[in-house]
Structure 1
Amino acid sequence: MLRLNASFQKKVPAEVEFSSKSFMASVELELPAGLTESELKEKIANTFRLVRDSVEAELAKNTASAGQPEPQHLPAPAEGKASNRQVGYLLDLAKARNVTLMQLNVDVKTRFGVDSIYDLDRKNCSRLIDEYQRAA
């Protein structure tokens, strides 16, 4: 017996500036043994499509009931996400100042509206690095 897990998550802007709402659906199915490769691919595609469409429908229903227009896809920041090296360096600077990851994440959530330092864009991560370097 095969198990298929499919999930889809989408974050959209919320009513409050620098905050977001998250919508997610997940489903697990048991597939019969002996499926061909093409049958398996079709089951996966159909299941993922069902989960994705369910999230999109719930999102549309939720925003319509709140009297808000359907959210638009926001363009990615021009500079993109912070690199792993930037985030690592920020973590090193924070650790040297006895700032925990939890404290750092609370700070970036408050200041930049992202859930963790791993969600920072390059510019804001660089800004934090500069602040920690100046505090040395």
Structure 2
Amino acid sequence: MLPAVTIGIRTILTRFCRLLIVITLESWLLSGYLNLSPRKSVEYAAAINLLAEIVGIMSFFIIKGVIPDFVQKDFIVYLLVGETPQLSLTLLLITMVYFLLYLAIKVNGFALYKFLCEIPPNKTSLTPKNLKVL
């Protein structure tokens, strides 16, 4: 059995590699299907996936505190290693809810990020010409 540190590092590296692959694939799809520039598509994909990853980590701690003790071990092993020791309907339900939440965050995150990027800059901002010396 691997020590806890090795499992933790393996989990972090696996999630990081998965994040890089997903950003690459989604930016290619955004660029191809929505006719965005390559730079914008990478920005959108990175922002959406990082937001979803942060919400996923926060939801892990919330779910871990709520689920029963007999499912907690299976849940943690499933997230860290990717394997389930036994079939659990509770774990299956949690995985389905997590997937739907992740999907909703990506769809709404893309719309929010696109909206925020297209807000015109404020014309009354402080520039060196508008500043008065006292």
Bigger proportion of residues as strand = 1
| TM-score for both structures, normalised by structure 1 | 0.35
Bigger proportion of residues as helix = 2
